[in-house]
Amino acid sequence: MNLDVQSLRTFSRLARSGAEQAAGSLATMTGFDAHVAVTKVEMATRSDVEREFRERDLVTVHVDFSGAIDGRTVLAFDRERAASLVDALVPDESADPGSDLATSGLKELGNIMLGGFIDGWADFLGEGIEFTTPTYVELDAGRSLEDVTTDSEFANGEFGADIDAGAEFGSGLDTEHVLAFRNHLETPDEEAGFYIYMLPTTDSVGTIVDAAGDGEETIPVESFTSFSQMITEGAGQASEDLTAMTGIDTTVDVSRLSFVPVEGVPMELTDDARRGVVLEFTGTPSGYIAILFDHESAESVADALMPGMDADPEMQKSAIQEIGNIVTSGFLDGWADSLGTTIDISPPRYVDDIASAIVDPLVAELARTQDYAFLIDSAIVTPDGAITCDIYALPDEQELRTAFDQLTPGPN
């Protein structure tokens, strides 16, 4: 099954349109106004999706769908936001989203919101898509999406005659990587906690590609998967290099490849203050990379590299630049080895600002030649979470496509 950039653009537009319909349904049912802040097409692992649910303390409503395309759609809420919705849907009911009436209210909200989301895809494909009644799910440490699948109506064949009784969500998905359509909804008064994930089967992605394609040269999905693995390995090497430099034990927390409208890239980053470096890399691929720490993490790694220099801002700055330079080399050297190319990096430029403002100039450069961006997002952390190093890479689209071509499996 192949993908092309035009298909990714179509995916993004359809996902955004469906999310806007879902936001409208939310306003009608609850009075909560919401707008779609970011829509991403994301190559992730199932464990990445599950970890996000748990770390953000999200409660979720799942709907399986079948027909023109098959898969699962998940509506996720921050727990506090879910409590507010429960109060709007079921006045005077317990604020606990897990109570029976509250769960029923959230399932009804999911039915309306996700129904509108899925209908948009059916209209585009010109064929019907049916979906199950919603299932309320809280993923705890002992439960996975696979467990939810086994419990679902879709898996148990209770959906109707049009669904094979033996079918399971996930049977058409790669066991490690999934192509996820992720939407983030916000309310005017605060950053909200509404997320819509669409996880189609591999065959269904192929169906959408066939409908969206315009003859543009396609890229095997295996190339995206290979590049995602390359990113994970690069983050692992960067983590090892950071540990070797500072003596601080670190590991890779998350590593993702996303396709997002260029203007949406800063919205993916926090507005909290960050210190670090920005570098440009050239070769195949070329682009920009930011290595960012929160202030406490920056001071800790700088002190570990140059003990006793915490009172000298210039020495701290120099230490952070050196750390950023080494982390970047570790992150990108593996790419060059895998692709058989040379990737050069510029001298590190020190930055100290909110994260979204740090990437704004990089995004502006990319926006001169492309409307969408491939965003590479990795995080390196200490076991106790006291130190976090965020890595954001923005490759040039054309150069990245060249890299994908070099990862494309040859004929047998």
Q: Is the pTM of this model over 0.85?
A: no
Q: And the tokens for 294?
A: 């929160």
- Mean predicted confidence (pLDDT) in 170-188: 59
368 or 14: which leads in pLDDT: 368
Q: In 46-189, which ranges are E strands?
A: 58-67, 71-78, 129-131, 135-137, 177-187
Token pair in block for residue 276? 């670090």
User: Is residue 296 predicted with pLDDT exceeding 50?
Assistant: yes
**Residues 177-204: b if buried by 16+ CB within 10 A, e if exposed:** bbbbbbbbbbbeeeebbbbbbbbbbbeb
For the ranges 151-165, 179-193, 268-282, the lowest mean pLDDT is seen at: 151-165
Q: Is the pLDDT at 110 greater than 80, yes or no?
A: yes
d(C-alpha 306, C-alpha 298), whole Å = 12
Instruction: Considering only residues 256 and 130, tell me which one the structure prediction assigns the higher pLDDT.
Output: 130
Neighbours of 213 (CB within 10 A): 15
Q: For the chain, what percent of residues have pLDDT higher than 90?
A: 27
Indicate if the pLDDT at residue 60 is higher than 50. yes
List 39's β-bridge partners, or say none: 183
Confidence at residue 142, expressed as pLDDT on a 0 to 100 scale: 53
- Assign 3-state DSSP to the chain and report helix, strand, coil percentages, each to 5: 45, 30, 25
d(Cα 27, Cα 32) in Å, to the nearest integer? 5
361 CB contacts (<8 Å, ≥6 apart)? none
Q: What's the confidence (pLDDT) of residue 193?
A: 58
Percent residues over pLDDT 70 in the chain: 78
> DSSP code of 207?
H
Separation CA 403–CA 397 (nearest Å): 10
Q: What pLDDT score was predicted for residue 184?
A: 73
DSSP 223-266: HHHHHHHHHHHHHHHHHHHHHHHH----EEEEEEEEEEEGGGTG
Would you state the pLDDT for residue 152? 44
pLDDT digits (tens, 9 = 90+) for 303-343: 999 887 767 889 999 999 999 999 999 999 988 888 888 89
Distance CA 268, CA 377 (A): 10
Residue 56 banded pLDDT, cuts 50, 70, 90: confident
